[in-house]
Structure 1
Amino acid sequence: MEPLPRETIVDVLERRLQEDILDGTHPAGSLLPPEQRLAEGYGVTRTTVKHAFGRLTQAGLLETRHGVGTRVRDYLRLGGADLLPMLVRHNPEWLADIFEVRAGVGTLIAERAAAKATPPQRARLRTLLDAVAAATEPDAVQLADAEVHRALARATGNRVYVLLTNTLFAAYLPLRVRLVAPFHDPAESAARLEPLVTAVAAGDPATARTAAQAYLGETQRIMLEALEPS
């Protein structure tokens, strides 16, 4: 169990404005009402509005120019992958796009890892696969599985693949508990990963790519089925 978050009035206003921006109530390029008018409309202080604006500016949703006002940024044109956790939390339909990228990037990582991995990296993958099988509950299995994929990304020798892998895992965080379905059985989870690890350890790029496609396709199917309303 995790303690429930204690929300402040700034948290509530930030979330309200964020939802209004992502829903299109405040479309990209539009100016928000002046701080004082927003404060009066929401029944909060102007300081609260300033703090909420500051957070949303840091998140990449707003920009403020002296003498002009606070404008909604076109996050689809100007934003980066760091927005994904927020977007998934707002609308789980973003997962379909994330899974598509996951499949494409994952197969490339597997193929390159098989070609580039060093002997210590191949051995490390085996150790991490054993950790998946040895995990005792779904959350631990899920985290152990993630470490296998981080190790695969490192084995490519390409640091951008490492960052992309981290970004995709971060995007899952808002729905992580609901994506645990493939990890309920540690032995089954390890067996699902084993062909991929074996192919990379054997230095077989073509087989690694095929194994990655099978793994990513099967886990995606299980996750999406779990998200469907019963």
Structure 2
Amino acid sequence: MEPISRDTAVDQLERRLRDDILEGRYAVGTLLPAERELAARYGVNRNTLKHAFVRLVQAGLVETRHGVGTRVRDFLRLGSADLLPAMVAAYPGWMDEVFEARQSVGALIAERAATVSSAKDHEALRRQVEIVGAARSVDEAQLADAEFHRVLAVASHNRVYTLLTNSLLNAYLPVRALLADPFRDAASAAARLSPLAEAVCVHDASAARAASESYMTETARMMSAALGSRRP
């Protein structure tokens, strides 16, 4: 194997081990090779390996037991949302499931935000729509749109919804260049968000849910079409 350079060695080793696990090189339930062997295989020292293991444990990919070793966990059963960015990057088909979850969770967040949001929340939502519309590049519009959904989650006054939104956006943002079609025209991107923002601002929960579902369906359709055109 190609040795890992010493700059950001822990980050690189974490990614390499994660990819090897997700791709099945190290099967679920099996013990990883001994630390000395793994360190030599990846061209790192054992301290770097230990730091990478800590991150993999936190993500739910492995578990380490003293005197036993490090075992690959059943990450689909036991893993956390921290795995989503890696899964989407490694397996683009996961994006369809992210779209599905995004639509369901988004509708709930919009409905609740319309019920409990404050005047301060309304100001922030309307301002974020303006920022999307004023974006000067595709990437700027896309990032502003993502921030709108964070602001909307905050307006729900439910911290779990905010964390779920962060998890979904963390899966989406690393591959956003492949999903940029809805944001090529900043004015159109803002126009898609405006009905959702306004429904929340007038406390119309039913309209907010419908506007969220419409927004999610339309943007998912555009993103899926773009992904499909890039597949061989």
2:30–2:72: 8 Å Cα contact kept in structure 1?
yes
Q: Which moved more, 1:136-145 or 1:30-39?
A: 30-39
**Equivalents in 2 of 1:53, 1:127: separation in Å?**
42
1:68 aligned residue: 68
**TM-score between both structures, scaled by the size of structure 2:** 0.86
**Cα offsets for 1:79-114 (capped at 9, x unmatched):** 211111122122111111111110001011111111
Q: Deviations over 1:16-65 (max 9, x none)?
A: 43222112232222111223344555666656654544443343322221
CA contact (8 A) 2:113 2:153 kept: yes
Instruction: Mark the CA change 1:71 to 1:192 in structure 2 (over 3 Å): closer, same or farther.
Output: same
* 1:217 matched to 2:217: yes
Q: How far apart, CA to CA, are the structure 2 residues paired with 1:20 and 1:227?
A: 25
Computed over aligned residues only, the root mean square deviation of the Cα atoms, in angstroms, reads 2.4
Partner AA of 1:187 in structure 2: A
- One-letter code of the match for 2:155? A
Greater shift, 174-183 or 208-217, is seen at: 174-183
Q: Unpaired segments of 5 or more residues in structure 2?
A: none
Cα distance, 1:120 vs structure 2: 2.4
**Counterpart residue number, 2:110:** 110
Secondary structure (helix, strand or coil) at the match of 1:31 reads coil
User: 1:132 aligns to what?
Assistant: 132
Identity percentage over the alignment?
A: 56
Q: Does 1:154 align with 2:154?
A: yes
What is the aligned partner in structure 2 of residue 99 from structure 1?
A: 99
Give 1:200's aligned amino acid: V
Equivalent residue letter for 2:88: V
2-structure distance, mates of 1:82, 1:49:
20
Unaligned regions of 5+ residues in structure 1, if any?
A: none
Aligned residue number for residue 183 of structure 2: 183
* Cα shift at 1:15: 3.5
TM-score when normalising by structure 1: 0.87
**Partner of residue 202, structure 1:** 202
Q: Distance in 2 between matches of 1:192 and 1:208?
A: 13
**Counterpart check, 1:88 vs 2:88:** yes
Alignment-derived partner of residue 27 in structure 2: 27
One-letter amino acid of the structure 2 residue matched with residue 158 of structure 1: N
What is the CA–CA distance in structure 2 between the aligned matches of 1:195 and 1:172, rounded to whole Å? 23
| Cα drift, residue 183 of structure 1 | 0.6
Partner deviation per Cα, 1:123-155 (whole Å, 9 max, x = no partner): 222121111111111111112212221221112
- Judging changes above 3 Å, is the alpha-carbon distance between structure 1 residues 165 and 50 closer, same or farther for their aligned structure 2 residues? closer
52-61 vs 7-16, greater mean Cα deviation: 7-16
How far has the Cα of 1:197 moved from its partner?
A: 1.3
Count, aligned residues: 226
Residue 204 to residue 27, structure 1, CA distance change in 2 (3 Å): same
Aligned partners of 1:44, 1:119: CA distance in 2, in Å? Answer: 54
Give the CA deviation at 1:118: 1.5
Q: Cα distance 1:201–1:50, how it changes in 2: closer, same or farther (>3 A)?
A: closer
